[in-house]
Amino acid sequence: MRIRVALNKDWLGRWLPVAIWMAVIFFLSAQRTLLNVSQHWLEDLINSAGHLTEYSILSFLLARAYNGTRARIVIVVFVALLYALSDEWHQSFVPGRDASVIDLFVDALGTLIGSVIWTRRHKAVLPHDVTSNP
């Protein structure tokens, strides 16, 4: 007996990049060390820039996958922040890494930046952007 599974190419094209990017974030979080920088401040700066970039990209990809109307951006931000929280928790089990509230804050900032870029680029519609006829 042959079972046929139909994949919606549009759905796959929107969600596969999200899954791949989440896997990249997970992989990077599983590494003991990512940098070998002698100055602590420079390592912190690069680490924060990485977190900001990772989560900006993630929220942008999530907004794209959800076809991010601004009403759905709330969902995008929630999902990205939930993933950031799980990422910090995951790092707490990796030798040489730890969970950081500062990293979580930077992840949240990146999430907001990616969402804003999506909404500005695609002119997503907020409920208060819609003019109602009296």
Q: How far apart are CA 99 and CA 45, in angstroms?
A: 17
Mean pLDDT, consecutive 10-residue segments, the chain of 134 residues? 52 91 94 77 86 96 82 89 95 89 95 91 58 44
Please report the pLDDT score of residue 10 as a whole number. Answer: 81
Range of the domain at 108: 48-125
Establish if 39 belongs to a structural domain. Answer: no
Q: Which helix (H) or strand (E) holds 110?
A: helix 101-122
SS3 5: coil
Please report the pLDDT score of residue 27 as a whole number. Answer: 94
Establish if 13 belongs to a structural domain. Answer: no
Please report the pLDDT score of residue 114 as a whole number. Answer: 94
Please report the pLDDT score of residue 5 as a whole number. Answer: 47
Number of domains in the chain: 1
Our CA angle for 93, 107, 112, nearest 5°, is 155
Q: How far is CA 104 from the centre of its chain?
A: 12
